[in-house]
Every structure is written in C-alpha cells, then in structure tokens.
Structure 1
Amino acid sequence: MADTRMPTATYICPQDGSRAGSTTLTWCCPACGGPWDLDTGALPPVRLDSLGGRVNSLWRYEEALPLSGPAVSLGEGRTPLVPLTGQVSAKLDFLMPTLSFKDRGAVMLAELARRLSPDRVVADSSGNAGTAVAAYCARAGLPCTVYVPEGTSPKKTGQIRAHGARLVTVPGDREATAAAARAAAGAPGTFYASHVFNPYFLHGTKTYVYEIWEELGGTLPDAIAVPVGNGTLLLGAALATAELLAHGLIDRRPALIAVQAEAVSPLAAAFRAGAEELSGVPDRARPTLAEGIAIPRPPRARQILAAVRESGGTFLTVTEDQIRAAQEDLAARGFFVETTGVACWAAVGGVTDRSVVVPLCGAGLKTGLAP
C-alpha cells in the first residue's frame, strides 16, 4: 500500500544553517537563496543479508531512504554492472525506465510531490532530468511543466511531450533555462522538482552506490568515476559512501573521480587551483558534445569540490575528440550511449592500476552519434 505520511526529514542550508520542514514548497534557503541539504536524523544500516527477496528496484534500500512505501515507482534501479576491461566496469544506468540515471532522483521528487499535493510541478533540464520528472509526474497524476534550453535534442523533448508534460523552450543556455524555471517556481502552489536544489534527488542518486556495493558482495571498487555538471550523481555517491562507512559496512571510501568536458570545466579548474568555490567563471558555457554536464555555475560547487577532496579523488577533463572516440568505442563493444554518458569512459577507460566503476548514464537514442 502506498504510504501517505508526510515526510519528517528537515531541510537545512549548508551555508548558514537555516532550517525548514520538508513539507514546505519553499525550494531554496530563504536567507541565502542556496540549495537545501536534508537532515534525516540517524538512518539505520542496510544489511547485506537482509536484501534477499526484497523488491527489485532502488526501493529495496528502504532503510537508507527518506521516504518509503512509494506509489509512483516504475521499477527504477538495479541496473547491471558489466566488466569492460580487467579493471573498469560499467553500470548500465541507460537501462532505466526513461533511459537515464536521472530516474533515481526523479522518483523521489515525484513521490514527495505526491504527498504534498501541489497545484503544479515545475522542472528545468537539458533533457534527461526533465524527461524523468515528466514520466514520474505522469505516474503520480501530477500536472508538470518542463523548461528546456533551445537546442535540446528533439528526441528528448519528444519524450517529455509523450509523458504529457507541458514543454517550455527557453532562448539561451542552461543557465537561462534554470532562471526561467525558478521564476515560475515562485508561484503559489508550485512544487519545484529541482534535481539541483532539492536534496531528495540526491538521496535517490545515492542508490547507485548501494547497488554497486550489493553487486560486489558488500565491497566497493577503488574508485567511482562520475560525470559532473550540477554534481547530483557525485553528491549522491558521497552520501552513500559516507553512510556505508559510518555503519561499518565498508572499511574505506573509494576515491571519487569527477569528469568534466574540457570545454566547460569550472569545477576542474577550481580543484586544480586549490579553491573551495568557483571564481571568474564566464556566464555562458562553450559548446560541447557533453551537453548534460555543460554547467558553468553549479549551485552546489562548494559541496562538490569538498566531496572529491574528502574522498581522495580528483577531477579529469576530456576533449570533444575523446568524447567522440569513446562513444564509438563503446558502441563497438555493444553499448550505444549518449555523448554525456561516455565522458567517464573517455577519462578512465585505460586505467590498469585500480578498480573503477563508470556509469553509462544515458542511452544513445537520446542524442544519436556525435557529429
């Protein structure tokens, strides 16, 4: 039976400590305008020997999730982990219901919205997050509007429309799109299904690591590589590894390898400069095949940089030619992955000195082959 209880976790601002109940529709910290984190209190451990016979979706890790008893699940999660080389394995998150890893977080946002019963749901996206939110809002019976930048792949906008969402195309880049959605999110009765500002999304993406941990028999690889734009998968991974370590379920945290396109790599530049936050970043992103991570000013930049450093990880960048070559190489191995989703393979495919897992996080059908 679907759970109808209101969420009990509390929003907390990582910058100034402001708090709000997570039943509020206030989508950012009212004091500083930054994104929320989530204070869930002490969550119980997920025991490996307790997982047999549980539901075959990410909801099997119910102890670690801030919501339970979902009504809007599409069976998301539990994607295969497949070796690519002797040291590098790929997690096939392009096999999710909407063909990208964003389903992990979108199901949490839609489930939260279902319980709050807003008049409308608003989202912004370069394509995949909007598609996922549209699909899960359709499942939940919630009216949804998705803002996308001009130039978004017609295959992605077609998916969004197919799920019944209203599509708004915004002139300009990803930053302009986010600004338009946030303006709309201020209307009364609006739930802003932001994969950047709402921390429930991060608690969905953390199941990516719980699945790797279960698949590897209660261990994790030496490193986990993730593509980073707004950093939602990386921050979810950091949450999961911290939880598993705190419960004594792993004995070390894997290094987090953050991958950016060389054309749009503000976080990599800040990391290499030893900075704790961004500075001197241009307002507009340069063109890149990795459109899903072309974010010049990620709102959680400080948290992303801190998470990579705390894990003993690093940032890597890849060129447009490397992205093209990686997409072709994966396709030759049987995996047709969109251009953003091949960035990690382009960065670490040749690693031989440690075990690494990379996400193949979006299907090639969403964008086609790189020109």
Structure 2
Amino acid sequence: MSDSSLPTAAYFCPLDGSRAGITAPGWCCPVCKGPWDLDTGATRPVGLGSLSGRVNSLWRYEEALPLSGPAVSLGEGRTPLVPLTERVSAKLDFLMPTLSFKDRGAVMLAELARRLSPERVVADSSGNAGTAVAAYCARAGLPCTVYVPEGTSPKKTEQIRAHGARLVTVPGGREATASAARAAADTPGTFYASHVFNPFFLHGTKTYVYEIWEDLGGTLPDAIAVPVGNGTLLLGAALATSELLAHGLIDRRPALIAVQAEAVSPLAAAFRAGDDELSAAPAPARSTLAEGIAIPRPPRARQILAAVRESGGTFLTVTEDQIRSAQRDLAARGFFVETTGVACWAAVGAETDRSVVVPLCGAGLKTGLAPGAP
C-alpha cells in the first residue's frame, strides 16, 4: 500500500460489529459476509457561510468526506436544481461527467484505490456504476475490469470499453454478475470497487443532499425521492441528513420516498409487510425498463428499510407504462432521461402537498427512448 494519505477511518460491520482497517484485503465482513459501513470518527460540520470560493465540485464539502485532496476528480457534483412544478424540483445528475449520479461514489472508490495501489480494480454493474468506475480508473491510471449482465444497454457497454476497461458479460441477471465479480475480487492484489459493499461509495452519494441543502440556503425539502435498487443513493441521502441533523444544520429530517419498478420491487413488498428484511422467497423478478434498479436481493436491504422508516418515508412502485409516460413527459419539458432515472418523476410528479426533490439520475442517451406508448 503506497500512499501515506490514507484515511484514518475504519470499516465496521453494522450487523455483528466486526472491524477492519482500510488496507485490509477483505471486501466484506469476514463473519457475516455482509457489506461494510465506515467509522470516520468525529466529523466537523460544513459551514454554509464557508462554501463561497471553494472548488465547484462535490469536494467542496471536505469536512464531511473521508478523503481529501483528490487526484482523480473530473469535476463531479454541483448539478443544477430545477423546478418542474410548484412543489417538485429535479436535480440534474445526468449532467455528471459520465452522465449519471454514480460518479459521486465512483470518484471515492477510484481515489481510494489510487492510494492503495492495487494490481487491478474489479467492479460489477448493470451499467452506470460500471461506466463511472471505468472512467475514474482511467483517470487514475488503474487497470479495470467491469462485469455486466447480458442484456445491458449496448450504449453503456460501449462507454465502459471507451474508457479502456475490460468488459466481461455474464450470462444471467444481476446476481450472477455480482457473484462473478466477487469471485474475481478474492484474487490477491485486487481492489473490489463495489458500489454496494464499499461504504466509501455512500460517502460520495451523500453529497447529493449536501448540494440540495446548500442550494436551498441551508434547508431541505419536505421529502427526497430516490430510485432504489441497491439503495446507494438512498443510503447516502440518509447519511447526509443524519450528519446535518447531528450538527444542528437542519432542524428536521426529510421523508425519504423510495421508488421501485413494480416488476422488481422486493423492498417495497417487505416494507408494506412490516418486515425488517427481505422475504426468504421474494416474488420472481420480471423484466423492466428500469434496469438500473432491477435488483432482486440488495445486500443492504435491512439498512434501506430502516432508513426509510426512520425518516418517516415510504416506498412507491411504478409500472412500465408509467415509466414510458414519465420519460416522454420529461423529454417534452426539455430533459431526456434514461428509463431508470425517470422512476421518481413517475411516482411523485403529481405531488402537491409538500416540497419534493427528485433525481434525474442518468442521461437518456444511455438507454434511448423506451419503445411503445402508454
């Protein structure tokens, strides 16, 4: 491990309390095999008045981040917040360098990997996380292999290859892809840039909420809607709201509205049943236009369900026709967004009783216009 600027934070398991240093080779808890969380120790508040003149990227919130002084930044973050209706605003995260919000977390993983100097980086993705990791590894000069499921959008796989990453297409769905990547991640000298298992990713996605807080003058909306598959944006949002509340920078926690495609909605089913975790035998997943959130068994399911409940939020599901309609509606308003990225607008676009922010997570060029009309 080559870089002396490694963070002092440590990994810990939220289920059994196991701990490991940042330089430890294991990518998951050795006891329960679950995802790590990150113990950053005491954090400093981000002063709203101190932000003027800082770098115009997510790295401006340096007090809240586990890494500082990045060498791999592409200028990610600080995306516009634009009103869609009187009560609903959209955050345009499809304007990121690789055209999706995943850049927020990928830059953290690539920066950490750069400091650890592994022989190789491995990632798995349904598309957007893979393109982001590939781009930031290219920036860092790190060899990268990205595993994707068969059927991944050709436009996303082309983007992965364009950044110089090796692409491995795995027969089957998202779970088979993750299994293949994790087997490769166990090879010595490998850094597993997992947007699910590595908590540095969540500390990148939390900047989404810090930006909303800054743009709204030190407040947050009544609710924040996020599309949920593996839950990385939702858990980042929960992390940010907890930090802002703990530092007295907000006086209430906004409700988190988690949105899933009706065709693949294991978390919504568990939430409605009052369960703390997924059913041992969830309903079979069906095909959906929202490929980025088509995750049958998210490893952080327990954390996602708890975060939504603690915020006073809820789960909503959207049909394929609603996704098609929402994509066309946003395009008519000037925003061409990929099919996964329109799910929240499909779910809360008619909201009139409270202020809500929705993310437009990925550019429409990544998937094209959904076929058919509702």
Match in the other structure for 2:248: 248
Match in the other structure for 1:299: 299
Is the 2:266–2:282 Cα contact (8 Å) retained in structure 1?
Answer: no
Distance 1:108 1:61 in 2: 13
Match in the other structure for 2:230: 230
Match in the other structure for 1:100: 100
Is the 1:135–1:163 Cα contact (8 Å) retained in structure 2?
Answer: yes
Distance 2:331 2:222 in 1: 26
Match in the other structure for 1:33: 33
How far is 1:284 from its partner? Answer: 5.7
Distance 2:162 2:115 in 1: 24
Distance 2:284 2:96 in 1: 31
Match in the other structure for 2:121: 121
Distance 1:25 1:287 in 2: 36
SS in 2 for 1:86: coil
One-letter amino acid matched to 2:9 = A
How far is 1:283 from its partner? Answer: 8.3
Distance 1:11 1:4 in 2: 18
Can you list the C-alpha shifts for 1:49-75, whole angstroms capped at 9, x where unaligned? 000000000000000000000000000
One-letter amino acid matched to 1:245 = L
Match in the other structure for 1:80: 80
Distance 2:363 2:44 in 1: 34
Is the 2:123–2:147 Cα contact (8 Å) retained in structure 1?
Answer: yes
Distance 1:196 1:284 in 2: 22
Match in the other structure for 2:218: 218
Distance 2:257 2:200 in 1: 23
Can you list the C-alpha shifts for 1:62-120, whole angstroms capped at 9, x where unaligned? 00000000000000000000000000000000000000000000000000000000000
How far is 1:4 from its partner? Answer: 4.8
How far is 1:258 from its partner? Answer: 0.1
Distance 2:305 2:133 in 1: 27
1:275 matched to 2:255? The reply is no
Distance 2:101 2:23 in 1: 26
Can you list the C-alpha shifts for 1:179-201, whole angstroms capped at 9, x where unaligned? 00000000000000000000000
Alignment of 1:160-179 (within 5 A): 160-179=160-179
Is the 1:66–1:200 Cα contact (8 Å) retained in structure 2?
Answer: yes
Distance 2:331 2:281 in 1: 34
Match in the other structure for 1:323: 323
How far is 1:280 from its partner? Answer: 3.6
One-letter amino acid matched to 2:351 = V
One-letter amino acid matched to 1:179 = S
Distance 1:76 1:281 in 2: 39
Alignment of 1:203-214 (within 5 A): 203-214=203-214
One-letter amino acid matched to 2:245 = L
How many aligned positions are there? 369
SS in 1 for 2:20: strand
Distance 1:188 1:284 in 2: 35
Can you list the C-alpha shifts for 1:207-241, whole angstroms capped at 9, x where unaligned? 00000000000000000000000000000000000
Is the 1:173–1:285 Cα contact (8 Å) retained in structure 2?
Answer: no
Distance 2:349 2:25 in 1: 42
Is the 1:256–1:311 Cα contact (8 Å) retained in structure 2?
Answer: yes
Report runs of 4+ in structure 1 exceeding 3 Å deviation.
Answer: 280-284
Distance 1:189 1:167 in 2: 19
SS in 2 for 1:267: helix
Match in the other structure for 2:200: 200
Distance 1:25 1:342 in 2: 38
Distance 1:361 1:6 in 2: 30
Match in the other structure for 1:148: 148
Structure 1 length as normaliser, TM-score?
0.98
Distance 1:305 1:325 in 2: 28
SS in 1 for 2:317: strand
Distance 2:25 2:69 in 1: 21
Distance 1:170 1:223 in 2: 37
How far is 1:25 from its partner? Answer: 2.7
Structure 2 CA distance for partners of 1:343 and 1:281, relative to 1, 3 Å: farther
Structure 2 CA distance for partners of 1:73 and 1:255, relative to 1, 3 Å: same
Q: Percent identity?
A: 89
One-letter amino acid matched to 1:156 = K
One-letter amino acid matched to 1:5 = S
Can you list the C-alpha shifts for 1:154-179, whole angstroms capped at 9, x where unaligned? 10000000000000000000110000
Match in the other structure for 1:6: 6
How far is 1:24 from its partner? Answer: 1.8
Distance 2:346 2:4 in 1: 44
Gaps of 5+ in 1: none
Distance 1:290 1:253 in 2: 28
Distance 1:59 1:14 in 2: 27
1:285 matched to 2:285? The reply is yes
Is the 2:266–2:283 Cα contact (8 Å) retained in structure 1?
Answer: no
Can you list the C-alpha shifts for 1:251-271, whole angstroms capped at 9, x where unaligned? 000000000000000000000
Distance 2:204 2:43 in 1: 15
Structure 2 length as normaliser, TM-score?
0.98
Distance 2:8 2:122 in 1: 23
Match in the other structure for 1:336: 336
SS in 2 for 1:346: helix
